[in-house]
Structure 1
Amino acid sequence: MEGSSSCSSMLSAPRQPSFLLSTLERLSNTPCLKLSAQEAPPVAVIALRRYLSEQAVDQQQPVFYSYDVTVTDGSWRAKCFLHPSLNHLVHTNTLRTGSDISVRQCSYVYNERRLGCGYICVEALVCDAEKSALLPGVDDIRSLPVLVKPGMERSMLLHSDVPLQPDCRHYLPLWNNDDPEGDIWMSDSPSSETVLDVSKVALLGGLESYLRYSKKPYPLLVKIIHKSRLRYYGRPGLKIHYPYQAYFEVADKSGIMSLVLWNDLCPEFYQRLSVGTVLYLQNYALKKSYSNKSRPQMSHYGMTNFTSTEISLNYREPAAVITIVSPKSVQPQWGLPEVSYQFTSRSELENLPGDYVCDVIGLVTFAGRVERVISKGNKGPDKYWSYRWVHAVDGTFDQPFILELFSTSHPEIFGHICPMTYLVCTQMRVCKVEGSQPYLSSSCGTEIFITGYHKGQPYVGDPRVKSFIQWTKTLKDNTVMQKSTVGGYYCYPHPPRFFKQTAAKSPVPLVSAADLKKELETLQYREHKRVAIQGWITAVRYTEAPRSSETQTMEGNEVSDDEQEQVGPEQQASPPTVKQTFAGGSLSPSSDRSSANILKIKNHQSETTPSCLNRGSASSKRHRNTHGREEEEVDQGQVCNAPFWEISGWSIQQQELSERLCQGGLHQDSIFRKFVFDERITLMQWSNLQPGQWTSEPIADPIPPASCPGYYQLTILGINKQMAVDAAFFPVGNVGDPRAVGLPQDPHNNTMLSCLSSGFLFPLSGAALPQPGRRQQHKRCPSRS
């Protein structure tokens, strides 16, 4: 092992002193290869990369994923291994790119199975400022030299796009497993212009006979008519370097069959294959299909679907030969079918049965923040799916499509969904829930396209797509933009007013207070869970948010508590505000009860029907994550003057609690923002997940202020009176709130209980959402193709 204290001569040393360089020198001269320091200058995190761990036998708690963290001190950059004990800092987004950290303990680790390789392991650190104070002074991160121990220049290979741990070949996305990540994924290879011998090709309809008699089949000439997202099936101990799988549906003149791309072929071909691509396949394998495999809906083609057999393309045994045929070389006499779609309009959605599969096109008016949900029934490493809620209008109905969109292995599209873009979603499943409007959910076979990605897609000639494009040309951009929103907490379908516990497995489980505590403690960054608890509301506090020009506009109709006694009947009929509901003045034309009476009635009813508090408990889970961008809370203002109510004896009773959870306010990230076209980059960054790599792009503008007149903080006492939960409640008060879409707006008397059970103030204030169904003739400015 080399003991030199200088860095590689291949790299010219920077002029200014370097903390990273001095650290490597000290590690080289330390007998135990370990350093500790109480104080250390900050370094900036410029990359966080995740990959499957090598499972250690002696670990009591298995660690499924490892992380490489790349840091810079402004002079050098170094890729280090993050000790597994620090993984939780990544899980909660405490350790994130674009921030500064102070390394308190590190060591140097030699690769015992590879010559001339080693790396720094960060074993203890302190996360400093949310935004780095160091990075703004760095002009070009890529120009900084990479720190390598002298004599170990071979480690330069490990400091590229390959994990530091031995036997690991590739990185995974930071927040899910289904997106391509890294330079191994090819996308720009040209199609073949070679002359193909199509005199002897097999038809899909005859492949079952080859499988039956184990004969080597002729080549195939097929067209891709459907593409599914990637599936990653890696787990510790699996001796497969690229454990990926991707399903396609291919067709020729005889019918349709599934094609599976396996393992090493996925990085090479997945991003190069798209719907409409023609393939010439040789040396493929035939296998029997899984009987319980979910399949895309292909009935609209009117062709035979061969479901008992599937085509397997492998990297070896046998090594498949895949030729992508140039569109110019495709001949009509081959008889390959045209790609077909089954677009559904919003006006038709109400009459479609549940689980019906369709395609949709619409103009985006709301793009929710990207969240994560853990995969159901996952027995291996924790697997998270990324998803977001989207609203889109198509000009046929006065309500938008409500779309639940999961990542489709195309992050360049999924991360750029924003209002004012044309959105196409294929293979969407109709979901119907009692008490809510129908919505559409994506599946593993869904593809998503937005403005900038429509050119050349087979659907551009579909009559319904052309009709939609003509309608959008009649709209005014400003009219649509004024009703468009981004981000915020969004939960659909809406919780029922009355919680019913059934024998069947409920999508919203009823949990104990102890289980709720565990759920909150294990909740990861942007992870979404829905649970129900039983309890009593023991205290309510109204907090008025800081006023901005936007907030004042929303509260233009609000009157103070004193003024409410003087207003006339016509003024009383105006929509209520959040504060008025708490104060309990003239909450509706027929209500003249005092706030004390309302709260007494509310408290009595909450004790008799505690399960109605499901909405409040569901909201509380978003407030647990005190790390990352979600830690910023709405200013609680002058708490001493805030309207407040509690049950008698609560001040004494709360001293006997064993624990109190979620003491905090409403997070800024939980409130939607109005969409402004000039601020779209900032808004997209804010609503997307924290990136795994920092880029030296111009600093984004500050996030626009939230439209939040105020909110309630409820204290819910567990049914056994041992634990209490503080939960923020922000009722829908304006039709401009994206949560108002699909909300059953049954009249109620605006008591606290009725607002909690319904989720909104009655009636909602503000102008109506865009009325695309009227197809009013307006002039549209920019074209969107």
Structure 2
Amino acid sequence: MAAAPKPKQPPSCALQRTLRKGPARNRTCRQILYVLSVQRYAKDAHFGVFFPGSVDCSESLFDATLCDGDCKIRVSVDPRLNKLIFANQLRSGSAVNNAEFLLEEDAEEGGRDVLLVGLEVDLSLGNDAALRALSGVNVRSLPWFGGEPNLLPLRARRSTYLPLWNDYDFTGDAWRDRPPESGGDRSRGSRSAVSLRDVRECFLNERPRRPGYLRVKILHKSRLMHYGKVEQNLTCPYKAELLVADASASVCVVLWNTLCLEWYRYLQPGMVVRLNRFKVRESYSHRTGRSTQPDIEISLNSSHPCAVISVISSVPPEWCLPVVPHNFLSRKELMDCPHGTVCDVVGLVLFVGRPERIRNKDGKMDQYRWIRLEDGTSDQPIMVKLFSTSQPEVQSGIHPMAVFVCTRVQLKKESPPFQYLTNTHQTQVYCTGTGCSLVTPFKGIRPFKQFLQWLRQADERDKLNRSVIGGQFVYPPAPASLRAFMDEKRGQPCLSSGEELKLLCERLQYRETQSFCIQCTVTAVHYHQGEGREPGPFSTTSPRSPITPLKVRSPKALKRTNPITSASPRKRLRFPSSGPDDSIENDSSLFEGALEFLLGEEVDIDEDEEEDDDAASFVTAHTNPHCTSFGLSCVGMETVPRQFLYQRRHVQANAVGLQPNSFHKVLPYEELETFSHARFYKGHYLLELKVLSDGLLINTLFLPASPGNDHWMPLSLIHGNTWESILSHGGFSPEAPPPSPADLMATKAQLTNQKLVCILDVCVLDGSRVELVLSRAFPLRE
């Protein structure tokens, strides 16, 4: 049968005109192109063949899909352009000019590879230029230049792509969420079940093991591990661990390579599985000397031999399989637990932070976000620093007013009296509204039932009013003295110059966070009212201009509350149905909806946004009008937490998330600005700092903690609410009314010529936008 003809691109196709105009290997497209996707994968041992001239030290390679509106093409990205991707400037949804291509012959395929070796990201068109330019185009149906491409990584023998921002999640359709079709194991009829205890004893005593299969229950599941190295040619370098048990013992089972693709998403704690054709080996902990007690682990490989896995749906009681162990602890119980306690928690989500990234000891990026829960047992929240658990669909959809369960988390008490929970290797997350069920695995556990009983009586209107999403958040808060701060080693040693700070910030990647310490003086202070916006998506330096008055809320406006707080004192919120797919009744409560996982839509909440003109910004010292300063000159829209709107919960969850790898998942850049700031946010202070060593000017945001604010809570230390004490404590005194912005700014002279040691929390928001938040400023005594 003759092959189907390749679709022809229209004559106006810019890619066709560029790539088919002659024998030259280097071609430049002068027309604007749009980035549809950016995909990451790990180098392999053939890297030097594909990129002989590259000196890039990154272990990541990238493929991109570009579109001119008429056709699209997949290209590999020269590693010298990686820094644009790490900074999230070259990304899905953006527009590029002067794209330079290098055409290379592909001897194996008999065609041509296209390498993207240069481009200019057009920042003037905005971060979502492709959304607007291609709004009337069916991008999925556009023809591919040169025919349908291979969907695997272009320049490494890898079977899957990696997520853009961490190494632990899975990404792509290759990861199955259903068990693979299998013809079964031909030898299963002639074999019988063997116990884990027999397998262990035979291996440790070096006795032959009788043929048979294992019949076990999954107790815990690890996150996914990608162990691909540049020097390795493994196409699917993944592993995952399962703690399984039968009536006789428990043991670690390791899934290797393509078995992870086939089984990792589907297998869950509580499932009973049959394992045949497995290997037994010495446990990893004993091989590495971490454990002196000899033990075994079970290896399941895709070859030599090919393991056979099957799920058992009907489990007779005579098998005596153990139950999945749980150790649910309430917030009240956690107060008396020692550091390092491993437990499970359940709570109602009231805050979900923006995803951020930190560099681990191996130099790779770990992705995390903060979650704040309440369970009714204490007036203190449960704080969770949640790293990736290889559950990207669940984690990306976590939102306030959802029931949240986190298993196998560890208690951290590094900064008493502050404590929080964070991941272990086996942490799993369950959350209503994200497609995972809570009722089945936990319904019979008493602590879980007690939490549901509290949830039935909870004042849902109060919880909703206090629910926020996104924004800058650091926990635990820094101490109130320089000596205590240095003792905790929260920051780095004082930098020798502001230029060094600037250089280090330029090396940070997208959403990477780090703390720095500098010596400086305050040259100017401004107060910005709550609805301030940053001047542009990539403004990090700007010339100083004459100070102009900025609108702030008057004391009357500051006290003004949202209509929902003064509405009828009903305890239950009603979520009306919004369409034929919503089966919740109009008189259903949040609790009932959470159990059904069929929550409807929230009523619209209007916010009074009247403003007065009775305050202005203040300056403590004049600066050279031609100087430039480093850092945002106004608050970034990712910096301030947003009021949670249940009706738009999915959009909000995406809006505060990390940049997606596909154009089809991109939201308009202004989407976050459609959500109101959290009610507790009344404004922020912008302090211009002058570094003592070299005079560099730095714009820093100061978001003071205040009494009654359960998001930016003040330290429990009473002070006089002077500028010096407010900056050293990170906010206002907990037992006194905070001064108004006008009153505080009237005392600006306190900062004149004051030498300070400042702690800055730094986060790269996007592109070249660097967020500098002043966490603490301690007086530097002579």
Q: TM-score, normalised by structure 2?
A: 0.76
1:173 aligns with 2:163: yes
The answer (yes or no) to whether the contact 2:717–2:734 under 8 Å persists in 1 is no
Cα offsets for 1:655-695 (capped at 9, x unmatched): 9x9x9643633222111011011222332122110111122
Determine the C-alpha separation between the residues in 2 that align with 1:386 and 1:229: 13
Residue among 717, 726, 745 paired with 1:755: 726
Determine the C-alpha separation between the residues in 1 that align with 2:271 and 2:404: 22
SS in 1 for 2:489: coil
Residue among 387, 401, 404 paired with 2:385: 404
Q: Which runs of 5+ in 2 are unaligned?
A: 534-549, 561-611, 739-782
Partner of 2:663: 694
Determine the C-alpha separation between the residues in 1 that align with 2:197 and 2:486: 46
1:68 aligns with 2:68: no
The answer (yes or no) to whether the contact 1:716–1:724 under 8 Å persists in 2 is yes
Partner of 2:450: 467
Determine the C-alpha separation between the residues in 2 that align with 1:191 and 1:251: 25
Amino acid at match of 1:131: D
Q: How far 1:495 sits from its partner (Å)? A: 1.0
Residue among 245, 257, 262 paired with 2:256: 262
Partner of 2:358: 373
Residue among 186, 200, 220 paired with 2:192: 200
1:733 aligns with 2:731: no
SS in 1 for 2:664: coil
Determine the C-alpha separation between the residues in 2 that align with 1:239 and 1:273: 27
Cα offsets for 1:742-777 (capped at 9, x unmatched): x4232221111211111122348999xxxxxxxxxx
The answer (yes or no) to whether the contact 1:192–1:326 under 8 Å persists in 2 is no
Identity %: 27
SS in 1 for 2:425: coil
Residue among 274, 279, 299 paired with 1:280: 274
Higher mean C-alpha deviation, range 489-498 or range 103-112: 103-112
SS in 2 for 1:291: helix
Q: Which runs of 5+ in 1 are unaligned?
A: 1-7, 297-304, 561-573, 576-636, 768-785
Residue among 351, 354, 366 paired with 2:339: 354
Cα offsets for 1:23-76 (capped at 9, x unmatched): 2222xx1x3221235xx3322211110011244365444232111111222221
Determine the C-alpha separation between the residues in 2 that align with 1:88 and 1:281: 45
Partner of 2:529: 545
1:523 aligns with 2:508: yes
1:440 aligns with 2:421: yes
Q: How far 1:21 sits from its partner (Å)? A: 2.3
Structure 1 residues 737, 455: closer, same or farther in 2, change over 3 A?
A: closer
Residue among 318, 330, 348 paired with 1:345: 330
SS in 1 for 2:515: coil
Residue among 87, 90, 93 paired with 1:92: 87
SS in 2 for 1:412: helix
Partner of 1:302: none
SS in 2 for 1:531: strand
Cα offsets for 1:439-487 (capped at 9, x unmatched): 1112221000111312564223212212222322223443311110000
Q: How far 1:530 sits from its partner (Å)? A: 2.0
Determine the C-alpha separation between the residues in 2 that align with 1:58 and 1:696: 34
Determine the C-alpha separation between the residues in 2 that align with 1:192 and 1:462: 36
Partner of 1:449: 430
Structure 1 residues 86, 192: closer, same or farther in 2, change over 3 A?
A: closer
Determine the C-alpha separation between the residues in 2 that align with 1:46 and 1:717: 42
Amino acid at match of 1:164: L
Structure 1 residues 724, 542: closer, same or farther in 2, change over 3 A?
A: closer
Q: How far 1:366 sits from its partner (Å)? A: 0.3
Aligned length: 647
1:308 aligns with 2:306: no
The answer (yes or no) to whether the contact 2:92–2:666 under 8 Å persists in 1 is no
Structure 1 residues 270, 252: closer, same or farther in 2, change over 3 A?
A: same
Determine the C-alpha separation between the residues in 2 that align with 1:671 and 1:209: 59
Structure 1 residues 429, 503: closer, same or farther in 2, change over 3 A?
A: same
Partner of 2:398: 417
Determine the C-alpha separation between the residues in 1 that align with 2:503 and 2:313: 56
The answer (yes or no) to whether the contact 2:16–2:145 under 8 Å persists in 1 is yes
Determine the C-alpha separation between the residues in 2 that align with 1:428 and 1:728: 33
Structure 1 residues 501, 544: closer, same or farther in 2, change over 3 A?
A: closer
Partner of 1:619: none
Q: How far 1:701 sits from its partner (Å)? A: 7.5
Residue among 403, 410, 415 paired with 1:429: 410
Partner of 2:312: 326
Q: How far 1:326 sits from its partner (Å)? A: 2.8
Determine the C-alpha separation between the residues in 2 that align with 1:728 and 1:145: 48
Amino acid at match of 1:464: P
Residue among 35, 43, 51 paired with 1:45: 35
Cα offsets for 1:340-360 (capped at 9, x unmatched): 211011111111110001000
SS in 2 for 1:529: strand
Q: How far 1:18 sits from its partner (Å)? A: 1.7
Determine the C-alpha separation between the residues in 2 that align with 1:765 and 1:215: 76
Determine the C-alpha separation between the residues in 2 that align with 1:230 and 1:34: 40
Cα offsets for 1:551-597 (capped at 9, x unmatched): x999563699xxxxxxxxxxxxx99xxxxxxxxxxxxxxxxxxxxxx
SS in 1 for 2:145: coil
Partner of 1:744: 715
Residue among 141, 146, 149 paired with 2:139: 141
Partner of 1:633: none
Structure 1 residues 41, 705: closer, same or farther in 2, change over 3 A?
A: farther
Determine the C-alpha separation between the residues in 2 that align with 1:369 and 1:473: 29
Determine the C-alpha separation between the residues in 2 that align with 1:698 and 1:221: 47
SS in 2 for 1:66: strand
Amino acid at match of 2:198: G
Determine the C-alpha separation between the residues in 2 that align with 1:44 and 1:515: 35
Higher mean C-alpha deviation, range 450-459 or range 516-525: 450-459
The answer (yes or no) to whether the contact 1:366–1:485 under 8 Å persists in 2 is yes
Matches within 5 A, 1:349-748: 349-376=334-361, 378=362, 382-451=363-432, 452-455=435-438, 457-500=440-483, 506-512=489-495, 513=497, 515-533=500-518, 535-545=519-529, 547=531, 555=553, 557=555, 642-646=617-621, 651=623, 661-662=630-631, 664-695=633-664, 702-707=673-678, 708-721=681-694, 723-733=696-706, 735-736=708-709, 738-740=711-713, 743-748=714-719
Cα offsets for 1:222-271 (capped at 9, x unmatched): 11100010111112111211111111111011121111112222112111
Structure 1 residues 294, 546: closer, same or farther in 2, change over 3 A?
A: farther
The answer (yes or no) to whether the contact 1:46–1:694 under 8 Å persists in 2 is yes
Q: How far 1:206 sits from its partner (Å)? A: 2.6
SS in 1 for 2:171: coil
Q: TM-score, normalised by structure 1?
A: 0.75
Q: How far 1:734 sits from its partner (Å)? A: 5.9
The answer (yes or no) to whether the contact 2:354–2:370 under 8 Å persists in 1 is yes
What's the C-alpha RMSD, in Å, of the aligned pairs?
Answer: 3.6
SS in 2 for 1:137: coil
Structure 1 residues 501, 511: closer, same or farther in 2, change over 3 A?
A: farther
Determine the C-alpha separation between the residues in 1 that align with 2:485 and 2:377: 38
Determine the C-alpha separation between the residues in 1 that align with 2:16 and 2:735: 61
Partner of 2:587: none
Structure 1 residues 554, 727: closer, same or farther in 2, change over 3 A?
A: closer
